[in-house]
Amino acid sequence: MKFKLLYFGDILINPKKRAQHISDIRMQFHPQLKKLVEHQPWNNLTRYMMPGATKSPVSTRHIGGINWNPIITPNLKLIAELDIQMLHPEIVGVPHTDIDNRVKTLLDGLRCPQNEHEIGTNTPRDIGPIYTLLDDDYLVTKLSINTSHLLSTDIFNCYNCRTPDTVFMMIDVNVRVAEGTLENLPFMV
């Protein structure tokens, strides 16, 4: 199964408030993932996405007073392959383009927080469960990154978008089954 996630904003390399920055990234992916689970085959699993569900193949985590619903979990025996197209305002190949640390920040934003110290203070607590792509980033088994120069930010209609940390990303997610089970049978197509 394949789908695409989009991100536009800053990917900071060493932010002073790292937990808040990661939470801001998570919150850009949350509405996209929430929409995804309304469709087949994810919608069959939403009844398990609540605290205390019995025999749940989905791992709802309660961390920092928030319910987190990662959609790729070890319980479902699912793994992810990510193909990232990263466009940024810097000219490709200049020393400022720190790809490895940007990817680390992005992967942290795609996964569920592991403890309450990884949740930013401005993370909304009243919107219901927050969806993340991954339970943990070890579920990524393939990673491909292509960088390009972002020629214009005008199409995003944003204020002050020309910082070196602003990126536009298209993330192609290929969900794969690591081991077949009855719960993940719909993902084998």
Whether 154 shows a pLDDT value over 80: the answer reads: no
The answer to the question of residue 52 being in a domain is: no
- Structure-token pair, residue 71: 């959609």
DSSP SS3 for 25: helix
User: How does residue 24 score in pLDDT terms, banded at 50, 70 and 90?
Assistant: very high
Q: How far apart are CA 26 and CA 29, in angstroms?
A: 5
The answer to the question of residue 126 being in a domain is: yes
What average pLDDT does this structure show over 74-99? Answer: 80
Q: Which long-range contacts (CB under 8 A, 24 or more apart) does 52-57 make?
A: 57/181, 57/183, 57/184
Q: What is the pTM of this model?
A: 0.84
User: How does residue 120 score in pLDDT terms, banded at 50, 70 and 90?
Assistant: confident
The answer to the question of residue 110 being in a domain is: yes
Least confident of 19-28, 53-62, 99-108, 168-177: 53-62
Whether 88 shows a pLDDT value over 90: the answer reads: no
| 49 compared with 183, residue with greater pLDDT | 183
Q: Find the domain containing 114 and state its range.
A: 2-45+60-188
Whether 169 shows a pLDDT value over 80: the answer reads: yes
What domain count does the chain have?
A: 1
The answer to the question of residue 114 being in a domain is: yes
DSSP SS3 for 154: helix
The answer to the question of residue 50 being in a domain is: no
The answer to the question of residue 66 being in a domain is: yes
User: With 0-12 CB in 10 A as exposed, 13-18 as middle and 19+ as buried, what is 97?
Assistant: middle
Beta bridge partners of 81: 142, 174
- Structure-token pair, residue 9: 């904003």
What average pLDDT does this structure show over 95-99? Answer: 65
